[in-house]
Protein backbone atom coordinates (compact mmCIF):
# COMPACT_ATOMS: atom_id res chain seq x y z
CA UNK A 1 0.00 0.00 0.00
CA UNK A 2 1.43 3.41 -0.93
CA UNK A 3 1.56 6.06 1.81
CA UNK A 4 1.27 9.85 1.61
CA UNK A 5 4.88 10.82 2.03
CA UNK A 6 7.66 9.00 3.82
CA UNK A 7 6.47 6.87 6.75
CA UNK A 8 8.77 5.47 9.38
CA UNK A 9 7.32 2.69 11.51
CA UNK A 10 8.46 2.06 15.05
CA UNK A 11 7.35 -1.04 16.94
CA UNK A 12 6.82 -0.81 20.66
CA UNK A 13 6.29 -3.95 22.77
CA UNK A 14 4.10 -3.50 25.84
CA UNK A 15 2.59 -6.45 27.73
CA UNK A 16 2.99 -8.64 24.70
CA UNK A 17 0.96 -6.29 22.51
CA UNK A 18 2.61 -4.84 19.41
CA UNK A 19 1.80 -1.20 18.85
CA UNK A 20 2.81 0.23 15.53
CA UNK A 21 3.56 3.93 15.47
CA UNK A 22 3.86 5.29 11.96
CA UNK A 23 5.87 8.48 12.18
CA UNK A 24 5.01 10.73 9.28
CA UNK A 25 7.87 13.08 8.45
CA UNK A 26 6.25 15.80 6.37
CA UNK A 27 5.67 19.54 6.59
CA UNK A 28 2.93 21.85 5.44
CA UNK A 29 -0.63 22.80 6.23
CA UNK A 30 -4.02 21.63 5.12
CA UNK A 31 -4.37 21.23 1.38
CA UNK A 32 -7.31 22.79 -0.43
CA UNK A 33 -10.40 20.77 -1.20
CA UNK A 34 -10.27 18.25 -3.99
CA UNK A 35 -12.60 18.49 -6.96
CA UNK A 36 -16.18 17.81 -5.94
CA UNK A 37 -15.71 19.41 -2.50
CA UNK A 38 -13.94 16.48 -0.82
CA UNK A 39 -10.98 17.18 1.47
CA UNK A 40 -7.47 15.77 1.10
CA UNK A 41 -6.49 12.88 3.39
CA UNK A 42 -4.99 15.23 5.95
CA UNK A 43 -5.98 15.90 9.56
CA UNK A 44 -4.84 18.01 12.47
CA UNK A 45 -4.66 17.52 16.23
CA UNK A 46 -3.69 20.30 18.66
CA UNK A 47 -2.74 20.53 22.33
CA UNK A 48 -4.52 23.11 24.47
CA UNK A 49 -2.22 25.88 25.80
CA UNK A 50 0.69 24.75 23.62
CA UNK A 51 2.32 26.04 20.46
CA UNK A 52 4.10 22.73 19.84
CA UNK A 53 1.71 20.08 18.57
CA UNK A 54 4.31 17.54 17.45
CA UNK A 55 4.24 13.80 18.05
CA UNK A 56 0.64 13.47 19.20
CA UNK A 57 -0.34 9.85 18.73
CA UNK A 58 -3.28 9.42 16.33
CA UNK A 59 -4.62 5.94 16.97
CA UNK A 60 -6.85 4.25 14.38
CA UNK A 61 -8.86 1.92 16.59
CA UNK A 62 -10.48 0.14 13.63
CA UNK A 63 -7.09 -0.83 12.16
CA UNK A 64 -4.81 -1.03 15.22
CA UNK A 65 -2.07 1.37 14.09
CA UNK A 66 -1.00 4.92 14.91
CA UNK A 67 0.41 8.01 13.20
CA UNK A 68 2.35 10.86 14.76
CA UNK A 69 1.69 14.53 14.08
CA UNK A 70 4.08 17.16 12.74
CA UNK A 71 4.97 20.27 14.77
CA UNK A 72 1.77 22.05 13.71
CA UNK A 73 -0.39 19.02 14.51
CA UNK A 74 -0.80 17.85 10.93
CA UNK A 75 -1.04 14.14 10.19
CA UNK A 76 -1.35 12.40 6.85
CA UNK A 77 -3.68 9.48 6.28
CA UNK A 78 -2.63 6.54 4.09
CA UNK A 79 -3.56 7.41 0.51
CA UNK A 80 -5.45 4.16 -0.06
CA UNK A 81 -7.77 4.25 2.97
CA UNK A 82 -10.83 2.08 2.54
CA UNK A 83 -14.10 3.90 2.00
CA UNK A 84 -16.22 4.09 5.12
CA UNK A 85 -16.48 5.81 8.49
CA UNK A 86 -13.58 5.22 10.87
CA UNK A 87 -12.79 6.08 14.48
CA UNK A 88 -9.61 7.84 15.66
CA UNK A 89 -8.23 8.81 19.07
CA UNK A 90 -5.61 11.51 19.69
CA UNK A 91 -3.35 10.89 22.71
CA UNK A 92 -0.57 12.71 24.56
CA UNK A 93 0.62 12.53 28.19
CA UNK A 94 -1.09 14.94 30.61
CA UNK A 95 -3.87 15.63 28.08
CA UNK A 96 -7.34 14.16 27.79
CA UNK A 97 -7.80 11.77 24.88
CA UNK A 98 -9.70 13.36 21.98
CA UNK A 99 -12.08 11.11 20.05
CA UNK A 100 -13.24 11.67 16.50
CA UNK A 101 -14.23 10.00 13.26
CA UNK A 102 -13.67 10.58 9.59
CA UNK A 103 -15.49 9.45 6.49
CA UNK A 104 -13.57 8.42 3.40
CA UNK A 105 -15.33 8.55 0.04
CA UNK A 106 -13.80 8.36 -3.43
CA UNK A 107 -10.28 8.77 -2.09
CA UNK A 108 -11.02 11.88 -0.04
CA UNK A 109 -12.62 13.08 3.19
CA UNK A 110 -16.16 14.38 3.29
CA UNK A 111 -15.22 16.72 6.16
CA UNK A 112 -11.88 17.97 7.53
CA UNK A 113 -10.51 16.06 10.54
CA UNK A 114 -9.62 18.24 13.53
CA UNK A 115 -9.04 17.04 17.09
CA UNK A 116 -8.33 19.23 20.13
CA UNK A 117 -6.79 17.70 23.24
CA UNK A 118 -7.83 19.29 26.54
CA UNK A 119 -5.00 19.87 29.01
CA UNK A 120 -5.53 17.78 32.14
CA UNK A 121 -3.02 19.33 34.49
CA UNK A 122 -0.67 22.30 34.82
CA UNK A 123 2.84 21.85 36.26
CA UNK A 124 5.16 24.17 38.12
CA UNK A 125 8.72 23.25 39.15
CA UNK A 126 10.57 25.09 41.94
CA UNK A 127 13.96 24.40 43.55
CA UNK A 128 15.51 25.72 46.78
CA UNK A 129 18.30 27.57 44.93
CA UNK A 130 19.89 27.90 41.50
CA UNK A 131 23.53 26.80 42.04
CA UNK A 132 24.63 23.36 43.21
CA UNK A 133 27.72 21.22 43.56
CA UNK A 134 27.96 17.55 42.53
CA UNK A 135 26.62 15.15 45.19
CA UNK A 136 24.48 17.86 46.81
CA UNK A 137 20.79 17.29 47.46
CA UNK A 138 18.22 19.34 45.54
CA UNK A 139 14.91 20.16 47.19
CA UNK A 140 12.33 20.08 44.38
CA UNK A 141 8.71 21.15 44.76
CA UNK A 142 6.35 20.03 41.99
CA UNK A 143 2.98 21.82 41.97
CA UNK A 144 0.20 20.22 39.95
CA UNK A 145 -3.29 21.57 39.26
CA UNK A 146 -6.15 19.57 37.81
CA UNK A 147 -7.62 21.88 35.16
CA UNK A 148 -10.75 19.80 34.53
CA UNK A 149 -14.14 19.11 36.08
CA UNK A 150 -13.26 15.41 36.45
CA UNK A 151 -10.99 13.43 38.74
CA UNK A 152 -7.72 12.43 37.07
CA UNK A 153 -4.94 10.00 37.90
CA UNK A 154 -1.41 9.17 36.77
CA UNK A 155 -0.23 5.58 37.03
CA UNK A 156 3.07 3.77 36.73
CA UNK A 157 3.96 0.11 36.99
CA UNK A 158 7.03 0.99 39.03
CA UNK A 159 8.38 3.29 41.74
CA UNK A 160 9.24 6.12 42.12
CA UNK A 161 6.21 7.67 40.46
CA UNK A 162 7.79 11.15 40.29
CA UNK A 163 10.99 11.06 38.25
CA UNK A 164 13.80 13.62 38.02
CA UNK A 165 15.96 14.45 35.02
CA UNK A 166 18.85 16.80 34.28
CA UNK A 167 18.92 17.69 30.60
CA UNK A 168 20.70 19.94 28.12
CA UNK A 169 18.67 21.18 25.16
CA UNK A 170 15.99 18.65 26.16
CA UNK A 171 18.47 15.77 25.89
CA UNK A 172 18.54 13.75 29.15
CA UNK A 173 22.02 13.64 30.71
CA UNK A 174 21.36 12.39 34.26
CA UNK A 175 18.28 10.62 35.53
CA UNK A 176 15.20 10.62 33.34
CA UNK A 177 11.43 10.95 33.15
CA UNK A 178 10.95 7.23 32.69
CA UNK A 179 9.95 4.06 34.52
CA UNK A 180 11.59 3.59 37.92
CA UNK A 181 13.71 0.68 39.08
CA UNK A 182 11.31 -0.79 41.67
CA UNK A 183 8.45 -2.99 40.41
CA UNK A 184 5.87 -1.38 42.70
CA UNK A 185 2.70 -0.03 41.01
CA UNK A 186 2.11 3.62 41.88
CA UNK A 187 -0.82 5.97 41.43
CA UNK A 188 -1.36 9.71 41.91
CA UNK A 189 -4.96 10.99 42.00
CA UNK A 190 -6.42 14.50 41.89
CA UNK A 191 -9.99 15.75 42.39
CA UNK A 192 -11.53 18.33 40.00
CA UNK A 193 -9.63 21.65 40.13
CA UNK A 194 -7.47 20.35 42.98
CA UNK A 195 -3.90 21.61 43.44
CA UNK A 196 -1.30 19.37 45.04
CA UNK A 197 2.38 19.80 45.83
CA UNK A 198 4.95 17.03 45.88
CA UNK A 199 8.32 17.46 47.58
CA UNK A 200 11.28 15.55 46.18
CA UNK A 201 14.83 15.38 47.53
CA UNK A 202 17.18 14.28 44.76
CA UNK A 203 20.92 13.66 45.05
CA UNK A 204 22.91 15.22 42.23
CA UNK A 205 25.18 12.55 40.69
CA UNK A 206 28.80 12.80 41.81
CA UNK A 207 30.05 12.61 38.23
CA UNK A 208 27.84 15.41 36.86
CA UNK A 209 29.79 17.86 34.72
CA UNK A 210 29.69 21.60 35.51
CA UNK A 211 27.36 23.73 33.43
CA UNK A 212 23.78 24.87 32.95
CA UNK A 213 21.02 22.26 33.04
CA UNK A 214 17.27 21.94 32.69
CA UNK A 215 15.79 20.16 35.71
CA UNK A 216 12.59 18.25 35.00
CA UNK A 217 10.31 16.44 37.42
CA UNK A 218 6.91 14.96 36.59
CA UNK A 219 4.70 11.95 37.33
CA UNK A 220 5.53 8.98 35.10
CA UNK A 221 2.18 8.12 33.50
CA UNK A 222 3.61 5.00 31.89
CA UNK A 223 0.45 2.89 32.21
CA UNK A 224 -1.52 5.17 29.88
CA UNK A 225 1.32 6.42 27.63
CA UNK A 226 4.17 3.89 27.85
CA UNK A 227 6.07 4.85 24.70
CA UNK A 228 6.57 8.49 25.77
CA UNK A 229 8.31 7.37 28.98
CA UNK A 230 10.61 4.90 27.24
CA UNK A 231 14.10 6.44 26.78
CA UNK A 232 14.70 4.11 23.82
CA UNK A 233 11.84 5.81 21.97
CA UNK A 234 14.05 8.84 21.40
CA UNK A 235 11.68 10.95 19.32
CA UNK A 236 8.69 10.54 21.63
CA UNK A 237 10.72 10.93 24.82
CA UNK A 238 12.39 14.14 23.66
CA UNK A 239 9.07 15.50 22.41
CA UNK A 240 7.59 14.96 25.88
CA UNK A 241 10.44 16.87 27.54
CA UNK A 242 9.99 19.80 25.14
CA UNK A 243 6.44 20.24 26.42
CA UNK A 244 7.17 19.98 30.17
CA UNK A 245 8.09 22.88 32.46
CA UNK A 246 11.57 22.88 34.01
CA UNK A 247 13.81 24.79 36.40
CA UNK A 248 17.09 26.19 35.08
CA UNK A 249 19.99 25.36 37.42
CA UNK A 250 23.78 25.65 37.40
CA UNK A 251 26.13 22.86 38.45
CA UNK A 252 29.37 24.34 39.80
CA UNK A 253 32.83 22.78 39.59
CA UNK A 254 33.76 20.71 42.67
CA UNK A 255 35.45 22.73 45.39
Q: What is the pLDDT of residue 136?
A: 95
Domains of the chain: 7-117 (2.60.40.1120), 121-251 (2.60.40.10)
CA distances from 62 to 74, 85, 86 (A): 20, 10, 7
Calculate what percentage of the chain has a pLDDT beyond 70: 83
Q: Are the CB atoms for 171 and 238 separated by under 8 Å?
A: yes
Over residues 163-221, the pLDDT tens digits come to: 999 999 999 999 888 877 788 888 999 999 999 999 999 999 999 999 999 999 999 99
Instruction: Report the alpha-carbon distance of residue 176 to residue 222 in Å, rounded.
Output: 13
Helices (H) and strands (E) in the chain, counts: 1, 20
Instruction: Report the alpha-carbon distance of residue 151 to residue 48 in Å, rounded.
Output: 18
Over residues 133-160, the pLDDT tens digits come to: 999 999 999 999 999 999 999 998 888 8
Q: What is the pLDDT of residue 20?
A: 35
237: helix, strand or coil: helix
Residues present in the chain in total: 255
pTM of the entire predicted model: 0.81
Over residues 211-238, the pLDDT tens digits come to: 999 999 999 998 889 999 988 888 999 9
Amino acid sequence: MSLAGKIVIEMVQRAGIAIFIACVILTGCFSPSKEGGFQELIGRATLENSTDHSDIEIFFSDFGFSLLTDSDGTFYLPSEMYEGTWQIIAKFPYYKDAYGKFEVFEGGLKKPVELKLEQLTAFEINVDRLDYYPAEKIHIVVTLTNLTTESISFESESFPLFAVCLAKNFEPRYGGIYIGDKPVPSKFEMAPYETKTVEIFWDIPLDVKPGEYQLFSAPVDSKNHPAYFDPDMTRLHKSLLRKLPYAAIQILPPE
